[in-house]
Chains A and B, each alone.
Chain A
Amino acid sequence: YPLFQRGGPQLRIFRPNFFMLAVRPGVPQPEDTVQFRVSMEMTKLDIRNYLERIYNVPVAAVRTRIQYGANNKRNHRNQRVKKPDYKVAYVQLGQGQTFQFPNLFPEKEQDAETRSFDDFRDKYMEKEKQKQEGDPRRGGVPDWFGL
């Protein structure tokens, strides 16, 4: 951002190039708190104005932290591979609103066809496994062992 000096114009940003990604919190958060991954250059004021002006979401408080990406993995040349750093913002909604991260992969109800197909497939796999294992009366002894 350009440096602000006294008497200068207020900084106005139109059509910002920032993106905010709403994520599922790793640890349970209170009902009014939404967790975002934001660009490293965004400030708390930026996040508040972004949500209020563009999405009309009332924001009561914003807290941010920077998550350091680890540098421990090694590639095939034994060079360290860094996971990128990112900024996490915890936004508390105003006016008593709450937010619960939705379940993006709900269990779909299976119809009769898929259920019967799944049963058939499970039974076939069981039979194949039985054939592979051999006679249970031999107690795990291989079948080439004998007289």
Chain B
Amino acid sequence: MAVVGARRLLRSGRRWFSETVPGDPSPPASPLYPPVVASITAKSKAAKSRRLQRFNQRVHAAATVEEKLRLYGKLQRPKYMVYPQTFALNADRWYRSFTRTVLVPGLPPRAAAAKSPVSAAEATPEAGRAPEPPAEAAAEAPGVAEAPGAAKTPEPATGAAPFPGIGELRSLTCDALLQESFYQNKKRPFLYRDQDHTPGPFLTQLVSTLAASLSVRNPLLAASSLDLNPEVNYYWHHGEEVVVHGHRKGRVDPVRFQIDDNPHLQIRVPKQLPEVVPLESDLGDVPVIDHKPSKLPLFKKQYENKVFIGSKVADPCCYGHTQFHLLPDKLKRERFIRQRLEDQIEVVYRSNGIASLFAWTAAQAMYQGFWNEADVTRPFVSQAVVTDGKYFAFFCYQLNTLALTAETIKDNPRKNICWGTDSMPLYDVVEDGNVKGFNDEVLLHLVNFLLNRPKEL
């Protein structure tokens, strides 16, 4: 202040202090007064933003991931419970808007490099083998079909289906199916417990035997961890709303969501799956819904804000590989057909895939220390298979962004991407010890899912 006063007097032409050098611009070394900032406890917007900044700094400065998760989910308020398996109409559109996900039909093209050594080694000695049905070439692996197809034109059939041991796996699948549904003498299922009676055990048996037999080819599966009926939870904020009733009426609050999911099976691996497309890619549009989430219908409750992938933070298998979901009896195909809601059958599969995979990948990202103020620097990829015992739908999810809150989403161009197929039947009927109409395409999709691994392995 003294220097400023002296400078002003000097500028007006009068010299008062002979010791001050004219034109002395350097300020004092340390500020004389503390910085002027907004209060912390006042009832004002500036104070609110200062409190939010202090909270963000606390979370950034947390030493361990457990401490970060504890602070992130410390404040409990009523939140919307998002159920991946829901009967709500057009739920997948709403879920895509909550999680900022783009839905791309069909599966992503698998990296040709991972498959062509396999196909090059095995396709040539098996030129005389009966050709596998190449029906899935167009949908599943155009990359695989192009690369070997260009190199080996005399073998168009085997170039699209590079898997030699498929017959063995097919027999394993049929064995599991017949054992559960035909050979084993089970009593009649209890009311509304059909899914736990046959398709549940069949799925468990199928996945464990396939994973065991494919772990030879995929060393990642050998180091993986298979969870039975695990729990996956995630808590996040998206958008803003005004509180309607109660003592906090009139305040602007973030809209809170929580997913509590119990997949039937889950495979967790120690190394992360490779990214499918680069982090900033834009493959479509996210639906924008102006209405409140309670119109879906979605209901609010207040309870623990949990973020969990299926194992605690210290577990070495902290990345996700594949989830397997079994649809409950309430969402059977026959029920929808009886209610004349045929278009909602696919919606059920899609909403289950999107919600479960978003929760899993986002929880994995939080386990690595990312959150909505510290956005992910690499994409997190996971896969899921949603089934009701007979029909299978395959989903692959890439998480590009965790920043979904009102402030962080403003300048965020990234979107999460979900690739998904329609539901395909694995078989037609099981009669007299035979499985009729087995669909190799579905088995091939499943095998490719299980064989997915990072490029180094």
Q: Mark interface residues in A1-30 (1 if CB within 8 Å of B CB, else 0).
A: 000000000000000000000000001111
Q: Does A60 contact B (CB under 8 A)?
A: yes
Q: Is the CB of B89 within 8 A of A60?
A: yes
Q: Which of B89, B289, B291 has a CB less than 8 Å from the CB of A29?
A: B291
Which residues of chain A are near B295, meaning CB under 8 Å? 29-30, 33
Minimum distance in angstroms from A117 CB to a CB of chain B: 42
Nearest B residue (CB) for A93 = B89
A94 to B289, CA, bound (A): 19
Q: Is the CB of A94 within 8 A of B341?
A: yes
Q: Mark interface residues in B286-302 (1 if CB within 8 Å of A CB, else 0).
A: 00011110010100000
Q: Does A70 contact B (CB under 8 A)?
A: no
Q: Is the CB of A61 within 8 A of B89?
A: yes
Nearest A residue (CB) for B244 = A27
Q: Is the CB of A30 within 8 A of B291?
A: yes
Minimum distance in angstroms from B191 CB to a CB of chain A: 15
**A-B Cβ contacts below 8 A, count:** 19
A58 to B342, CA, bound (A): 13
Q: Does A63 contact B (CB under 8 A)?
A: yes
Identify 19 residue pairs between A and B in the complex whose beta-carbon atoms are under 8 Å apart, listed by A's number: A27-B292, A28-B290, A28-B291, A29-B291, A29-B295, A30-B289, A30-B291, A30-B295, A32-B89, A33-B295, A58-B340, A60-B89, A60-B341, A60-B344, A61-B89, A63-B297, A92-B89, A94-B340, A94-B341
A29 to B290, CA, bound (A): 10
A133 to B297, CA, bound (A): 58
Does more than half of chain A's interface fall in helix, strand or loop, or is it mixed? Answer: loop
Q: Mark interface residues in B186-198 (1 if CB within 8 Å of A CB, else 0).
A: 0000000000000
Nearest B residue (CB) for A96 = B343
Identify the interface centre among B295, B297, B341, B344: most chain A CB within 10 Å of its CB: B295
| Chain B interface residue bracket vs A | 10 to 19
A42 to B344, CA, bound (A): 26
A92 to B291, CA, bound (A): 15
A92 to B89, CA, bound (A): 8
Q: Mark interface residues in B344-359 (1 if CB within 8 Å of A CB, else 0).
A: 1000000000000000
A63 to B89, CA, bound (A): 12
Nearest B residue (CB) for A27 = B292
11 further interface pairs, Cβ-Cβ under 8 Å (given A27-B292, A28-B291, A32-B89): A28-B290, A29-B291, A29-B295, A33-B295, A58-B340, A60-B89, A60-B341, A60-B344, A92-B89, A94-B340, A94-B341
Nearest A residue (CB) for B291 = A30
Chain B residues numbered 276-314 whose CB sits less than 8 Å from any CB in chain A: 289-292, 295, 297
Minimum distance in angstroms from B65 CB to a CB of chain A: 39
Which residues of chain A are near B341, meaning CB under 8 Å? 60, 94
Minimum distance in angstroms from B399 CB to a CB of chain A: 28
Which residues of chain A are near B340, meaning CB under 8 Å? 58, 94
Nearest A residue (CB) for B296 = A30
Minimum distance in angstroms from A27 CB to a CB of chain B: 7
Minimum distance in angstroms from B112 CB to a CB of chain A: 40
A82 to B226, CA, bound (A): 61
A27 to B292, CA, bound (A): 9
Which residues of chain B are near A92, meaning CB under 8 Å? 89
A146 to B291, CA, bound (A): 65
Which residues of chain B are near A33, meaning CB under 8 Å? 295
A51 to B81, CA, bound (A): 31
Minimum distance in angstroms from B239 CB to a CB of chain A: 15
A30 to B296, CA, bound (A): 8
Which residues of chain A are near B297, meaning CB under 8 Å? 63
Chain B residues numbered 410-430 whose CB sits less than 8 Å from any CB in chain A: none
